[in-house]
Amino acid sequence: MELDLTKVKNIVFLTGAGVSQESGIKTFRDQNGLWENHSIEEVATPEAYERDPALVHRFYNLRRAQLKEVDPNPAHKAIGHLSQYENFNISVITQNVDDLHERGGVTKVLHMHGELRKIRHNHTGEIRYFEGQVEESEFKIWRPDIVWFGEAIKCSEHIPEVISQADLYIAVGTSSQVYPAAGLVSMASAQGIPTVEINLERTNMSSSYNTTLLGKAGEIVPEFIEKHLKVKL
Ligand code: OAD
């Protein structure tokens, strides 16, 4: 399908683990997903935290520390570059808990699954910006401000509004297996917004998109922006 995107201004990106893969962050479903013999589900649930807060904090402490060793890749930077243009209004809805979109230059990022750089007080609910390691004495006082399996997503009140204002919806690097993120393409399509999927391989939602472009996000995202949005990166 030939896309005519000359009049596009408001663009919403939905991103998943695949957009950060080339930065060196592991995706969830491309390998066995085990961490020290625990499945992701075992360390990413409220029950796991109740049962073994030390294990859960160790997992997130490691992931938080890893943020200092990774950098935005060409996909993050291309979206960030686009955000700096007055002609475009860019919003990123991400399932990722890393900070690579922000460091790639995007200002409007909705973290629907929470953020590694935030912790939440178990009693007061206070959310604090945090880049260090949660210490043992604090394991039961603070929890990672991450959406675990079975918990409600964040930003749910803003997401429909952002999508309703979009002229173009682009999903990058998500397997589309986790809802409600996977269903946002249907929300966009129902409003007549053109939809594009960029992924290494087809997903079980590919047929819901107008176009699927296969390849690495770090290559396809910049190519798409230059070719269809006529922005020189
Ligand atoms: P997944 O690991 O499920 O899917 C990653 C997708 O990215 C796959 O379809 C890959 O083919 C694709 N991919 C991998 N490398 C890529 C690359 N370099 N360029 C383009 N595509 C690439 O990750 P998500 O869809 O993000 O939730 O998973 C969704 C949610 O499931 C996560 O946010 C997490 C997990 O449970 C929570 O932790 C709440």
Query: What's phi and psi for 77, nearest 5 deg?
Result: -70, -35
- Look at 30-34, 86-90, 91-95, 218-222 and tell me which has the smallest mean pLDDT: 30-34
Residue type, 45: T
**Do 81 and 184 belong together in one domain?**
yes
- Hey, which of 35, 111, 174, 209 would you mutate to test ligand 1's pocket, going by the most ligand atoms within 8 Å of its Cβ? 174
Ligand 1 center–CA 124 separation, angstroms: 32
Q: Looking at residue 78, which CATH number applies to its domain?
A: 3.40.50.1220
Which of 134, 151, 168 is where one domain is finished?
A: 151
Res. 138: pLDDT tops 90:
yes
Write down the pLDDT at residue 26: 85
pLDDT tens column, 8-67: 999 999 999 999 999 999 888 776 566 677 787 788 999 999 999 999 999 999 999 999
* Residues 58 and 164 placed together within one structural domain of the fold: no
Q: What is the pTM of this model?
A: 0.96
Verify that 53 and 135 share a domain, yes or no. yes
Smallest CA-to-CA distance from 174 within 41, 14, 11 is with 14
- Angle between helix axes 217-228 and 74-83 (nearest 10 degrees) is 30
- Dihedral angle sign, alpha carbons of residues 219, 224, 226, 231: negative
Classified as helix, coil or strand, 179 is coil
Predicted confidence at residue 31, as pLDDT, reads: 66
Residues in contact with ligand 1 by the CB-under-6-Å rule are 16-18, 21-22, 27-30, 44, 95, 113, 147, 173-175, 177-178, 199-201, 203, 216-217
How do residues 144-172 score in pLDDT, each as one tens digit? 999 999 999 999 999 999 999 999 999 99
Report the CATH number at residue 135.
Answer: 3.30.1600.10
DSSP-assigned beta bridge partners for residue 119: 128, 144
The count of structural domains within the chain is: 2
Q: What is the reported pLDDT for 39?
A: 80
Q: Check whether residue 163 and residue 212 sit in a common domain.
A: yes
CB 73 within 8 A of CB 96: no
Of the candidates 113, 121, 158, 228, the residue annotated as catalytic is: 113
